Structure 1
Amino acid sequence: MCFLRFLMQARSTLSRYLPEKAASTSGSPSSGSGSGSSSARHLEADSTARKLHLVLGNESCDLDSAVSALTLAFIYAQREQGHDYVPVLNIPRLDYPLKTEVGHMLNRCEITEQMLLFRDDLPQQLTGDINVILVDHHVSNLARHVVEILDHRPLESNPAMQLLPEQCVRHIEPELGSCATLIGERYLAEKQPRSSRVTQLLHATILLDTINFAPAAKRFCARDLAMVEQLELMMLEPAGGQFDDAENKRRRRSLFDELVAARADISRLTLAEVLRKDMKKLQTEHHTVPMAGLPMLVRDFIELNDAEQAIREFAMGSNLAVILGMFVPPGHGQVVRDVALISLTGQTQLVERVRKALLDCQTPPLNLQPHTIDTHFMGGCYLRQHNIQATRKHILPVIKRVLLEMEASQRCDCDDVYFFKEKPKLGLS
């Protein structure tokens, strides 16, 4: 089966297992279909022979996450035909237009939104014997269903990890610059399936994730580079072309610049949508911290009209918002980064503790310094990040540790608290 046909059939495959959801095109639940329907009886009879495996990307749904989910599901579906594999992009369908580089690259490969499944195509609670494969992340509220993980993020200490089944296979390799390299290794491990679109998608994704192998960024290892070179040879074979290192590097630069421009294209988005474009939420018992990744510097973003209103909308209900800016100037690929800490509720102590923790961070050192021109916009803290190799996956654990330490220090032991209905008699006159 070709890659496009596989994607077009994914919806009907999902609907066989979730008849009550019916995986509608709009992502909204369908009505009707009770538990006694013929489709439900068919599901019960068929489930002993086949299992549904949902291949789920992470909630930021960047190009790495989206391509890894789509391509791994296709690879497994062709090799394990006794079961069904369905890729799911881990965002609401409404947010897909925000993922500009994802839409650009998928359109380039003739993959339309109508071929894709999103988080709201699934029921709120998974029931039955359904397996989940996580790509480009390893913490999920679906942990009990997870049978395999393929990720390149540092291992998180999270209670959800304790809920993973004992038989869950874990491939967590932080040295890799891109999860797509892990998927590519699965792809090349056997002769089939092969798809020119899968080859293109994996190749483009690794280039973007590794900043086109920029030495200063240090976002890659030898396996990432070897994978891109193998994929380039595969792309040359049908045309009978010869490997030309200089020409290949020129093509890489052109494709990388195209993808960076697509990611930075916010011309059709509101500023609030720009903040949601690459957002993650850091969750603890008492805090929810939205973390936005911008395709521009935060220092430039706050100069835009309506920036304050957009940040208030983005961080509504939170004590702290973290905004990470990244800009790659066209032509030379030298990354520039900055960080903003903003509290809508005036939690200056929280902002200061997070700021100090980031300044003190040594794993890796972030090398944060104030911007050349200071600002007091919304009472926030704005810092230029001189270690361009550090990303959100390094910053998030530092902030989480601060929040957990604050929550622990604010707890009290109930055994030490006494309540009196009347003045206690202390035996004193």
Structure 2
Amino acid sequence: MAPVRPSLKTFLATARKALASPPTQTSAPLTFVLGNESADLDSLCSAVLLAYFRSQIPPHTLHIPLSHLPRADLALRPELNAVLRPAGVTNDDLLTLSDLPGAETLGPENTRWLLVDHNAPTGELASRFMSREDSLIGCIDHHADEGKIPQDVSSRSAGGPRVIERSGSCMSLVVDHCRSTWEKLSSSSSPSSQDIEIDAQLAHLALGPILIDTTNLTSKDKTTEWDISAVKFAESMMAAPISTLSTNSHDSNNQGSPYSRSKYFDQITHLKEEIKSLSYCDLLRKDYKQWTEGPLTLGTCVIMRGFSYLLQEIGPKEEFLSAIQKWKDEQGLDLVAVMTVSKQEGEFTRELLVWAFGETAIRVARQFVDDFGDKLGLERWNSGSGELDLDDGQEGQGWRMCWRQRGVESSRKQVAPMLRNAINKVGSKL
């Protein structure tokens, strides 16, 4: 007899209960699955799906998926609702940083961490929980290997996977890792309607980020065999339409509609690009990552609309630049990079603004342009108008430059390491 499977909602409720229990009531450290701090659709969904399936295999250690953001920031991600809804859950079911107990209750000795969509711990969680040698038990990631997860981690006590491969979406690697477990759980010759429903819900959770990250498998620069295989497998698990929740987030009456890959992609994309209701502060923190290299701290933001749209629809230039300065002060940044992704006149477009504060950071920014400007195809933004540039060395204002990035194949996954490389290159000369 096939094992009884929990729904995703039931699993998340179990994880919440375990997190709320005092450590004295648990026999082993809590095992967390953590996405990266940008907390985009890929990170959020990958953590949930990986935790779900890792909890179903012997020795059935409960893995708690932790969304790497405060609960309030979930509201900045309406596209997440389009994926959670057909998976049978809501934002309220997710566990976030706001749900973590305080240091007096939960210490590093009570936790183990499996990273997904990154392979090096960052931020406050890293300093609070991950300094112990045995705190990191593995990773599944599609970024460059930073060497923080030991090669032999899988063979260690409580060790998890160590998968670092190039793919358009990290979720594709998660699906591949979980595939055999998923197949075993779904192997009944006469599955119940509940089992069929659970498979369809999990498939929707898997498909959302893969389709978004690969532009519905059409991006030549991003789509890999991992992504194609994952989509094919996840779609094979959708033997029937979702009966209780619609895949169309704009039509609550469309209950039980059959899955359509293009419609699902369009629904999520529409919500991801709908940013008019957000402030500049919201946009800067919606998809944000931060690194500290030597004496400098770099913050990177990705916004799903171009700079012209922002200045026309969100607020004037002065308001935009003021928001960046405020964000820089709040986060203690020396370098800020704002990247935009959009379609302009039907053409996929990337833009990049880099703002450096302080003499060393300015040297880094110029080093970045010297080393990578041609590779990225950087051209002065807005026909070279210089509207968003600052290159006259005004005291306290730093150096700022804005470009159209012709090398659209380079996302933050490539640009952030370039900036970090420039930091290290300048730092080695100090």
Give the TM bin, normalised by the shorter chain.
0.7 to 0.9
Paired with 1:356 and 1:63, the residues of 2 have a C-alpha distance of 33
Equivalence for 1:13: 18
* Greater CA drift, 220-229 or 52-61: 220-229
RMSD: 2.7
Query: Do the aligned partners of residues 8 and 154 (structure 1) sit closer, same or farther apart at CA in structure 2, a change above 3 Å counting?
Result: same
Equivalence for 1:70: 48
Q: Does 1:324 align with 2:324?
A: no
Alpha-carbon offset, residue 348 of structure 1? 4.2
Secondary structure of the corresponding residue to residue 291 of structure 1: strand
Equivalence for 2:366: 352
Tell me the amino acid that sits aligned with residue 15 of structure 1.
Answer: A
Q: 2:426 aligns with which of 374, 393, 406?
A: 406
> Is contact 1:90–1:118 with CA below 8 Å preserved after alignment?
yes
> Is contact 1:17–1:52 with CA below 8 Å preserved after alignment?
no
Tell me the amino acid that sits aligned with residue 400 of structure 1.
Answer: R
| 1:319-398 equivalence runs, <5 A | 319-328=334-343, 334-344=347-357, 348-360=362-374, 365-371=375-381, 372-377=383-388, 379=390, 380-398=400-418
TM-score, length of structure 1 as denominator length: 0.77
Query: Do the aligned partners of residues 356 and 161 (structure 1) sit closer, same or farther apart at CA in structure 2, a change above 3 Å counting?
Result: farther
Alpha-carbon offset, residue 53 of structure 1? 1.3
Q: Deviations over 1:27-48 (max 9, x none)?
A: xxxxxxxxxxxxx2x33xx33x
> Is contact 1:296–1:325 with CA below 8 Å preserved after alignment?
yes
* Greater CA drift, 302-311 or 221-230: 302-311
Q: 1:84 aligns with which of 50, 55, 62?
A: 62
Q: Does 1:234 align with 2:237?
A: yes
Equivalence for 1:416: none
Tell me the amino acid that sits aligned with residue 260 of structure 1.
Answer: T
Equivalence for 1:214: 218
Query: Do the aligned partners of residues 117 and 66 (structure 1) sit closer, same or farther apart at CA in structure 2, a change above 3 Å counting?
Result: same
The structure showing larger relative contact order (alpha-carbon pairs under 8 Å, at least 6 residues apart) is 2
Secondary structure of the corresponding residue to residue 120 of structure 1: helix
Tell me the amino acid that sits aligned with residue 284 of structure 1.
Answer: E
Q: 1:195 aligns with which of 199, 216, 225?
A: 199
> Is contact 2:199–2:238 with CA below 8 Å preserved after alignment?
no
Equivalence for 2:277: 268
> Is contact 1:55–1:69 with CA below 8 Å preserved after alignment?
yes
> Is contact 2:300–2:339 with CA below 8 Å preserved after alignment?
yes
Q: 2:209 aligns with which of 205, 208, 224?
A: 205
Secondary structure of the corresponding residue to residue 39 of structure 2: coil
Equivalence for 2:248: none
Q: 1:172 aligns with which of 145, 163, 166?
A: 163
Equivalence for 1:293: 302
Q: Deviations over 1:142-184 (max 9, x none)?
A: 2631112111111126xx5579968355533432111111221
TM-score, length of structure 2 as denominator length: 0.77
Q: Which runs of 5+ in 1 are unaligned?
A: 19-39, 240-249, 411-429
> Is contact 1:3–1:195 with CA below 8 Å preserved after alignment?
no
Secondary structure of the corresponding residue to residue 55 of structure 2: helix
Query: Do the aligned partners of residues 73 and 114 (structure 1) sit closer, same or farther apart at CA in structure 2, a change above 3 Å counting?
Result: same
Larger radius of gyration: 1
What is the aligned length? 364
**Identity rate of aligned residues, in percent?**
22
Tell me the amino acid that sits aligned with residue 236 of structure 2.
Answer: L
Secondary structure of the corresponding residue to residue 224 of structure 1: helix
> Is contact 2:8–2:88 with CA below 8 Å preserved after alignment?
no
Secondary structure of the corresponding residue to residue 357 of structure 1: helix
Q: Which runs of 5+ in 2 are unaligned?
A: 1-5, 187-197, 243-258, 391-399
Tell me the amino acid that sits aligned with residue 294 of structure 1.
Answer: I
Equivalence for 1:117: 95
